[in-house]
Amino acid sequence: MAVTIEKALELIYTNTKPKSLKIIPIEEALGYILAEDITAVHNLPPYDNSAMDGYAVKIEDSGKCVTVHCTIFAGDDFKGELSCGEAIKIMTGARIPLGTQCIVPIEDTQICDGGVKLPENLTISKHIRFAGEDIKKGQKLLSRGDKIDAHQITLLASQGISHIKVYKKPRIALFASGNELKMHFEQVEEYQLYNTNTPTLLARAKELRCEVEFIGTAVDTLDDIHTHIKSALDCDIIITSGGVSVGDADFTKEAFGNFGYEILFDKVEIKPGKPTTVGKIGDKMILNLPGNPLAAALNFELFGRSIIYAMSGAKAKFINPIRAKMKNDFQLRPGRRSVIPGYFDGEFFTVCEQYAPGMISPLAQANSFIIASQTCDFIKEGSSVKIISTKFSFTAKEFQELVTP
Ligand SMILES: Nc1nc2c(c(=O)[nH]1)N[C@H]1C(S)=C(S)[C@@H](COP(=O)(O)OP(=O)(O)OC[C@H]3O[C@@H](n4cnc5c(N)ncnc54)[C@H](O)[C@@H]3O)O[C@H]1N2
Ligand code: MOO
């Protein structure tokens, strides 16, 4: 029995266990998922400081000519105190001297006899950046399950944190099966074709920051598929393509059966990709994609990506669709949920000119897809659709409804 997309995703999320942990330096942390909470141990800024190159002054000296005795630079440990009738010259980022009530930018002053003339109506605290106004000591900065991007590294560096605990990256093993397949570095005969699924999935899994191993291309025999499975068993996720249908040379699921394969679902109510199968061997997740290239690539985007997110330890582990408007009227055959590739230009979604499960050309033009409901036979120009990006990862903490009604 085929399961719905929602049921398939639920089975994936309930059966996939997050990876174990390790400690790494923050310079290597980009793309990892944090496995601990991080609390600020320093205020930021650490001290009250000047936001401008100018003068530290008292409010009561508004409009007066005041004397200037010294200059403070960023990084100086100046211990003096500001008195009335005086200004201390100060550079941006320098700690303000005791008694400072505001900073006057250089360009707002004029040279006068013995010092500088200050403007009228000075405002208290103007151009002062106060300790802790950005980050307060004790404040929670990051949480377990947050993804480390460049700006999370900023926060860690600001606290002098050199190492963090993260989830290990999922390790993925990939192989394809099919007697007709040759690798791009091999000779291809006129009755054969290049294996395009594995290089595609390999690149995509790397984009999703997994460690990836290419095991090879199996011929359609149980023996050869067994050999490929054995080589893949030390990884966390095994992704195959081909051999999942009902043909006389479709052995993939049978071959996994030898290794204690527990199938979670072996058909999905989706077009293309109905034969997509997901199961597990112990804690290893197995994704058997259909051979048809567009079907394999699109089903990877839904099910492969979900396994990776679920294993990553991320809080925002659910695919999150983006609202777009349909560029043109679009007619389709109802019956099963249809996955439709296209291009999102920031406002409108344009369906690929031609696409079919066995094609590869649509994906190179596309940057996203929509899933039309099984009852949908027409999508009107300008109507709202939910697009799922294939070029960047947009995720949410709660499960999102992906189908466009
Ligand atoms: N009688 C039925 N036949 C088929 C059904 C069905 O329900 N009843 N389902 C169809 C659907 S849907 C799909 S999808 C395919 C899935 O078949 P397999 O997963 O067994 O895939 P293959 O037969 O091995 O290959 C299908 C197609 O894709 C090409 N291919 C395979 N691997 C690659 C690769 N790595 N790179 C590039 N191209 C690849 C292969 O040459 C075939 O043309 O079954 C339908 N049949
Ligand atoms: O998955 Mo098949 O490619 O539906 O055509």
What CATH number does the domain containing 248 carry? 3.40.980.10
Per-residue pLDDT of the chain (405 residues; tens, 9 = 90+): 899 999 999 999 999 999 999 999 999 999 999 999 999 999 999 999 999 999 999 999 999 999 998 999 999 999 999 999 999 999 999 999 999 999 999 999 999 998 999 999 999 999 999 999 999 999 999 999 999 999 999 999 999 999 999 999 999 999 999 999 998 899 999 999 999 999 999 999 999 999 999 999 999 999 999 999 999 999 999 999 999 988 888 899 999 999 999 999 999 999 999 999 999 999 999 999 999 999 999 999 999 999 999 999 999 999 999 999 999 999 999 998 999 999 999 999 999 999 999 999 999 999 999 999 999 999 999 999 999 999 988 889 999 999 998
User: Of 259, 283, 312, which marks where a domain is finished?
Assistant: 312
Ligand 2 atom closest to Cα of 299?
A: 1
Quick check: 226 and 258 in contact, CB under 8 A? Answer: yes
295: Cβ below 6 Å to ligand 2?
yes
Measuring from atom 1 of ligand 2, which residue has the nearest CA? Answer: 273
DSSP H/E element including 144: none
Ligand 2 centroid from CA 241, angstroms:
12
Assess whether 149 and 184 both reside in one domain: no
Quick check: 148 and 34 in contact, CB under 8 A? Answer: yes
Q: Look at residue 394 in the predicted model and tell me its pLDDT.
A: 86
Residue range(s) defining the domain that contains residue 368: 319-404
Q: Which ligand is nearest to the CA of 254?
A: 1
Assess whether 197 and 258 both reside in one domain: yes
Quick check: 357 and 294 in contact, CB under 8 A? Answer: yes
d(CA 261, CA 286): 9
What CATH number does the domain containing 362 carry? 2.40.340.10
252: Cβ below 6 Å to ligand 1?
no
User: Of 284, 312, 340, which marks where a domain is finished?
Assistant: 312
Assess whether 124 and 146 both reside in one domain: no
357: Cβ below 6 Å to ligand 2?
yes
Classify each residue of 378-402 as buried b or exposed e, where b means 16 or more C-beta atoms within 10 Å of its C-beta.
ebeeeeebbbbbbeebebeeeeeeb
Phi, psi angles (nearest 5°) of residue 5: -60, -40
Q: What is the pTM for the complete model shown?
A: 0.93
Assess whether 188 and 247 both reside in one domain: yes
Phi, psi angles (nearest 5°) of residue 158: -65, -20
Ligand 2 atom closest to Cα of 271?
A: 4
d(CA 140, CA 100): 31
Assess whether 295 and 217 both reside in one domain: yes
Q: Tell me the one-letter amino acid at 27.
A: E
Number of structural domains found in the chain: 4
d(CA 298, CA 357): 9
Assess whether 10 and 29 both reside in one domain: no
Ligand 2 centroid from CA 371, angstroms:
14
CA distances from 69 to 61, 306, 369 (A): 16, 65, 67
Assess whether 326 and 230 both reside in one domain: no
